[in-house]
Amino acid sequence: MDFTFNESQKLFYDSVVKFAKKELCAHSVEREKKGEFFREGWDKCADFGLLALPVPKEYGGLGMDIFTCVLTMEGLGYACKDSGLLFAINSHVWTCIIPILHFGTEEQKKKYLPLMCKGKMIGGHAMTEPNAGSDAFSIRTTAVRQGDRYILNGTKIFISNAPIADLLIVFARSGTQKGFAGITAFIVEKETPGFSVGKPFEKMGLRTAPTGEVVLADCEVPAENRLGREGGGSALFHSEMEWERSCLFATHLGAMEAQLEACVKYAKQREQFGSAIGKFQAVSSMIADMKVRIELSKLILYKVAWMKSQGKRAPLESAIAKLYLSESFVQSSLDAIQIHGGYGYMAEFEIEKYLRDAVAGKIYSGTSEIQRNTIASWLGL
């Protein structure tokens, strides 16, 4: 495995960092307080090409390899203070664009991808239901074929981007097969009769990323909007999760790098007992552990990217990456607060925000417990 980035990848990373610092950070604290989505920032990201990274040029994308995608998300996580905006971008790209790209018909790709790359259509995906979270394949939303359409009925919950989405990939149960074999995916546009979205949830963190409930009441989806084959929804879901568990969590890696810089700077400046607090081993050890987490996170993320770049599946490795990165981010965020003492706990110093954002990472994309179950099952347990 070779994790050396070439010159053009490094240049792109630098330009992403510069762009994010200049264009995406202003007023992020105010937006966070209000829970306001940064539409202008979204449009700027689209103009920069950040919504189009993995999409081939023929569909309006940049045609980038997965390594460059991971590196770009890392740069955004490092430099962009609007973590909710990044979360919305992640949902759009990895859970909506990628499945359409990999499982869509030529017509679907031509219809949706150029508009999604330009940010003119916002996407997301809807699997979770009030009674089916970790046990995703126990969903109850039904899709019944009637002539040239499917009639969908059910409720989806905690859906990222739902309040701002133009289309969602909705997973539903079709036919008579139980469990994973009965799941089918559909592209559902917001104007579809019978489709409605509830008001956004108030969240602990990632507050600028709108999250909502989706109701499908006799929702009439044209048959041509089925994504993949009937019963193919679970394979599609697993495939997109591998992308999400690597590329989305690269933003966590970037955030941990920014967090580390802030902690090192503070530990050098802040004096107690006549000495910089970084000279106290209890403090420097916390910082050393933060660095270890970053380096190990990099290795496992880049390994997943390498496997996928070789055309290999990486279900075990992406579960390990997701688990390790999300738990590392929570621990490093706790340490960052501890290192900053009372200042770290006060919102105005923008250190506690990391923790509020990080906690969600242990839940979405499959909880930590579910990742451990996955890893154990690969070991034959």
Ligand X SMILES: Cc1cc2nc3c(=O)[nH]c(=O)nc-3n(C[C@H](O)[C@H](O)[C@H](O)COP(=O)(O)OP(=O)(O)OC[C@H]3O[C@@H](n4cnc5c(N)ncnc54)[C@H](O)[C@@H]3O)c2cc1C
Taking CA atoms, 322 is separated from 12, 127, 340, 365, in Å, by 25, 19, 27, 8
- Select 204 or 299, whichever has its Cβ closest to ligand X: 204
Stretch that binds ligand X, among 18-26, 125-133, 228-236, 257-265 (CB under 6 A): 125-133
Collect contacts of 178-183 with beta carbons under 8 A, ≥24 apart. Answer: 179/137, 179/138, 180/137, 180/234, 181/231, 181/234, 182/231, 183/137, 183/139, 183/231, 183/233, 183/234, 183/237
**Smallest distance, Å, CB 130 to ligand X?**
8
Taking CA atoms, 137 is separated from 109, 155, 195, 213, in Å, by 26, 14, 22, 18
Can you tell me which of 78, 158, 237, 354 binds ligand X, judged by CB under 6 A? 158
- Select 214 or 337, whichever has its Cβ closest to ligand X: 214
Phi, psi of 167 (to 5 degrees): -150, 150
Query: If binding is defined by CB under 6 A, does position 160 make contact with ligand X?
Result: yes
- Select 68 or 365, whichever has its Cβ closest to ligand X: 365
Number of residues that bind ligand X (CB under 6 A): 21
Query: If binding is defined by CB under 6 A, does position 91 make contact with ligand X?
Result: yes
Query: If binding is defined by CB under 6 A, does position 225 make contact with ligand X?
Result: no
- Select 212 or 278, whichever has its Cβ closest to ligand X: 212
Catalytic residue among 32, 213, 240, 244: 244
Residue 40 in tokens: 């202008």
Based on the residue annotation, tell me whether 32 is a catalytic residue of this protein.
no
Binding mask 361-380 for ligand X (x = CB under 6 A): --xx-xx-xx--x-------
- Cβ-contact 341, 272 below 8 angstroms: no
Full DSSP string of 248-277 = IHHHHHHHHHHHHHHHHHHHHH-EETTEEG
Binding mask 270-309 for ligand X (x = CB under 6 A): ----------------------------------------
Query: If binding is defined by CB under 6 A, does position 116 make contact with ligand X?
Result: no
Query: If binding is defined by CB under 6 A, does position 234 make contact with ligand X?
Result: no
Binding mask 345-364 for ligand X (x = CB under 6 A): ---------------x--xx
- Select 128 or 332, whichever has its Cβ closest to ligand X: 128
Chain-centroid distance of CA 231 in Å reads 25
Burial classification of residue 240, based on how many CB atoms lie within 10 Å of its CB (0-12 exposed, 13-18 middle, 19 or more buried): buried
Can you tell me which of 31, 44, 81, 125 binds ligand X, judged by CB under 6 A? 125
Amino acid at the residue 7: E
Q: CA-to-CA distance for 308 and 315, rounded, in angstroms?
A: 10
Taking CA atoms, 55 is separated from 59, 170, 223, 375, in Å, by 7, 21, 25, 30
- Select 159 or 250, whichever has its Cβ closest to ligand X: 159
Can you tell me which of 69, 126, 221, 287 binds ligand X, judged by CB under 6 A? 126
Query: If binding is defined by CB under 6 A, does position 138 make contact with ligand X?
Result: no
Q: CA-to-CA distance for 248 and 30, rounded, in angstroms?
A: 24
Can you tell me which of 174, 192, 208, 211 binds ligand X, judged by CB under 6 A? 211
Catalytic residues: 244
Q: Which chain residues interact with ligand X by CB under 6 A? A: 91, 124-128, 133-134, 158-160, 206, 211, 360, 363-364, 366-367, 369-370, 373
